[in-house]
Structure 1
């Protein structure tokens, strides 16, 4: 947040944020680093959720006065940019692409999903994430290398990366929300009976046909894999 407690809308410009990372924005140089500030914010978000991450809470975690943090991050928007790029460093990929770009792209998506499940606040943060930092750019570089054997042009490759990230973000958001809902066996059985009754009343023939199809595995991993295969295998490269 800004000094008056409002969430910022612009944050720090990308050149100042990423090209001069070691320079505090103004005032006396603090006795702690931007890395320490960001790591403290990430730890807070991992433990308690993104809503508890405020400049005041982060300052308390690093043992500093809240005003001193503004020299590095004047608002929460800027702090979120730092947090997103910080955790994206966990996605460092050292193995070169195999040459099978569809298979490699599915591996990328699985990495993203596991990454977001480790940091449940990340899908929400990505909604406002704007300019990629160095770790994000490194991961993007890997994805572009994965897509090199495809017939996609440069603009389409960037669109595929955005589409894939949006898919994983949305899927994980739903997955996290579903995991947080407590469903008793009785409730699940009641929902199944309700849908069966609706399908049998003759007013919803398409639904009845869909529900009569063989059931597929409903585990989170199996569901993600089915959706991912449909997305990647259906990509048009012409």
Structure 2
């Protein structure tokens, strides 16, 4: 049975996708697997972005006909679910939580950031609701265990994990955009001139004051750490 979304649903059926093994349609056994299809899609996204990931391109990469892929991933939405969980294996944590929840969450957040920078398509893929697959669940389980010392209830711990992941995804998206801007000096100069003009027009005094204050060192790691600390301060404050 295909693992896609039934009519009127909000995405692939998670029971079909994660709890039942992917089986090809009857006939000659194909020379590829769902894992190979997913790995090929991830490689395409890493190299060319999510727009490059089409069923036809993935079929070409694994040396198969497009129709033969549909038993494993009947649509791109299902393929994205598989891709997100596939790369989540890189987030595997073997050491148990230390008992210092702030330190543990900092470690997890930095791991997520490095992970998303390796796969720049991930922040966009995570903007829509995803049902966690087995690799994602393993990371979630570790994060929830790390949050145990906070005394938060289960629902609150899930909220903190979702907030942390959204923060990292948003920050990485900004980092990627800033890196692209750095490689376009004309665009960067135009943006600077625009902001200078806005700051001088008298209509935005708060912005003018903010832009006139000394800038912080442009160190991506330090900036991420500073923002993350503020997020964790909010968790601690309840």
TM class by shorter chain equals 0.7 to 0.9
1:188 offset after TM fit, Å? 5.1
Q: Could you say which residue in structure 2 is the equivalent of 1:38?
A: 38
Secondary structure in 2 matching 1:226: helix
Q: Aligned equivalents of 2:39 and 2:64: distance in 1? A: 14
- Please say if residues 89 and 135 of structure 1, whose CA atoms lie closer than 8 Å, have aligned partners that are also in contact: yes
Deviations 1:49-80 (A, max 9, x none): 11111111111111111111111110011111
- Please say if residues 41 and 83 of structure 1, whose CA atoms lie closer than 8 Å, have aligned partners that are also in contact: yes
CA distance 1:10–1:215, shift in 2 (3 Å): closer
Secondary structure in 1 matching 2:235: coil
Deviations 1:164-189 (A, max 9, x none): 111111111121122122342x7656
Q: Aligned equivalents of 1:78 and 1:195: distance in 2? A: 42
Q: Aligned equivalents of 1:27 and 1:216: distance in 2? A: 62
Q: With CA pairs under 8 Å and 6+ residues apart, which has the higher RCO, 1 or 2?
A: 1
Q: Could you say which residue in structure 2 is the equivalent of 1:73?
A: 73
Q: Aligned equivalents of 1:216 and 1:101: distance in 2? A: 28
Q: Aligned equivalents of 1:58 and 1:197: distance in 2? A: 47
Q: Aligned equivalents of 2:192 and 2:12: distance in 1? A: 51
Matching of residue 230 in structure 1 with residue 230 in structure 2: yes
Deviations 1:132-187 (A, max 9, x none): 00000000001001101002110000000001111111111121122122342x76
CA distance 1:203–1:44, shift in 2 (3 Å): closer
1:33 offset after TM fit, Å? 1.1
Q: Aligned equivalents of 1:9 and 1:35: distance in 2? A: 25
Q: Aligned equivalents of 1:25 and 1:187: distance in 2? A: 49
How many residue pairs end up in the alignment?
230
Deviations 1:176-224 (A, max 9, x none): 122122342x765675566456545554332333234332112222221
Secondary structure in 2 matching 1:68: helix
Q: Could you say which residue in structure 2 is the equivalent of 1:26?
A: 25
Secondary structure in 2 matching 1:234: helix
- Please say if residues 41 and 58 of structure 1, whose CA atoms lie closer than 8 Å, have aligned partners that are also in contact: yes
Q: Could you say which residue in structure 1 is the equivalent of 2:131?
A: 131
- Please identify runs of 4+ aligned residues in structure 1 that moved more than 6 A: none
**Structure 2: runs of 5 or more not aligned:** 3-7
Q: Aligned equivalents of 1:169 and 1:69: distance in 2? A: 30
Bigger mean CA offset, 116-125 vs 10-19: 10-19
Matching of residue 93 in structure 1 with residue 86 in structure 2: no
The equivalences for 1:1-238 within 5 A come to: 12-21=12-21, 23-24=22-23, 26-28=25-27, 29-181=29-181, 182-184=183-185, 192=192, 195-196=195-196, 198-199=198-199, 202-236=202-236, 238=238
1:12 offset after TM fit, Å? 3.7
The alignment's C-alpha RMSD in Å is 2.4
